Structure 1
Amino acid sequence: MPRILVLYYSTYGHIEQMAAAVAAGARETGATVDVKRVPETAPEDVARAGHFKLDQAAPVATVADLEAYDAIIVGTPTRYGRMSSQMASFLDQTGGLWMRGALNGKVGAAFTSTASQHGGQETTLFSVITNLLHLGLVVVGLPYSFQGQLKLDEVTGGSPYGATTIAAGDGSRQPTENELAGARFQGRHVAAIASKLFD
């Protein structure tokens, strides 16, 4: 079975929850799944003053970790319609892997959160996907076979480019069951594709 890394950055815990759901979905297929987070780059006093969630259980990843996996699923909140600086900083350090083609042919995917429905979910996903393509990964999205992204009876995240959630401007909204279902679906889907490529 494939080895899958769910690699994320989460300021307030929304992406942390989505990462857990992505991992749970991937594990349903029998895949080996690790969940790791990228380092916090904000000074600790700034993070504490901003009420960042600093007590996350996932271990901190290193760039060298990436090569060990068959699939990498990247989660980050949006920052002005693009990935967070913490995730960008981490991915900016992968030049050695890129130069060696170390990630060529592996499976990649992305998930995100925004404050509002139209706060840049798809552009943030594409900001991650662009990096994945440059690194040589085969990108997998969230197909419309996950029917939850077509719901009109509730406010919900979800995009064919990856699972998403909406956090509200003050972070008070938590991922809904439909959004977590999308994340689990994406985890299963990535694992299934990776299994076809690497079994």
Structure 2
Amino acid sequence: MAPKIAIVFYTLAEAEKKGIEAAGGTADLYQIPETLNDEILGKMYIPSTRRSTVLLTRLLHQGALWGKYAGLFVGSGGQGGGQESTAIATLSTLTHHGLIYVPLGFKTTSALQSEINEVRGGSAWGAGTFAGADGSRQPSAKEIELATEQGKAFYGAVSKVNFA
């Protein structure tokens, strides 16, 4: 039985999904409900939650995610935005849900992650993007490539598990 993959997102989700599909898997996009109104979200350049994706709610108390696999990708305002510390802090949330963390690592992306020709988000913890101080910057081609490779690597890891 092939693993069913859900991507909970903001930026880079489509690239992660593309990587999973390129590796032979399938993935669905999900979103956590926003607590801010659309006016404030618009000023932050964050898209509204009113899209064609399924919204996730109250999974912790149902134990709905226990034993499932998770990776992560992040976005921040700039290079000092704490992408690695955000990833580390997210491990607490994953642990509370009982999720099994699958890091990106360097196996398939060492050369890409070591390039210093341009500013790029992401690390061994997972893909990342810089949104700019006002949130208006979109992911670069390298950031999208890293997210796509993470999708492939994630599917490669979880597809080895016997889900039967």
| TM-score category, normalised to shorter length | 0.7 to 0.9
Residues 34 and 49 of structure 2 are in contact (CA less than 8 Å); yes or no, is this contact kept in structure 1?
A: no
Moved more, 153-162 or 49-58: 49-58
One-letter code aligned to 2:131: A
How many pairs does the alignment contain?
160
- Aligned runs of 1:24-173 on 2, under 5 Å? 24-48=18-42, 50=44, 52-54=46-48, 57-63=51-57, 93-98=58-63, 102-145=64-107, 146=109, 147-173=111-137
Residues 36 and 58 of structure 1 are in contact (CA less than 8 Å); yes or no, is this contact kept in structure 2?
A: no
Residues 104 and 135 of structure 1 are in contact (CA less than 8 Å); yes or no, is this contact kept in structure 2?
A: yes
Q: Per-residue displacement from partner, 1:128-174 (whole Å, max 9, x unpaired)?
A: 22211232222111111202111111111121111101111022322
**Relative contact order, higher structure (CA 8 A, sep 6+):** 2
One-letter code aligned to 1:97: Q
- Determine which structure has the larger helix proportion and give its number: 1
TM-score, normalized by length of structure 1? 0.72
Q: Per-residue displacement from partner, 1:54-113 (whole Å, max 9, x unpaired)?
A: 2764413223xxxxxxxxxxxxxxxxxxxxxxxxxxxxx333233xxx433321111111
- Structure 2: distance between partners of 1:106 and 1:51: 31
Cα drift, residue 50 of structure 1: 5.0
Where 2:81 maps in the other structure, the secondary structure is coil
Where 2:40 maps in the other structure, the secondary structure is helix
The aligned counterpart of 2:161 is 197
Q: 1:56 to 1:192 in 2, by over 3 A?
A: farther
Q: 1:174 to 1:44 in 2, by over 3 A?
A: closer
One-letter code aligned to 2:102: V
One-letter code aligned to 1:164: G
Where 2:55 maps in the other structure, the secondary structure is coil
Q: 1:107 to 1:28 in 2, by over 3 A?
A: same
- Determine which structure has the larger strand proportion and give its number: 1
Where 1:36 maps in the other structure, the secondary structure is strand
Unaligned runs of 5+ in 2: none
The aligned counterpart of 1:6 is 7
Percent identity over the alignment is 32
Unaligned runs of 5+ in 1: 64-92
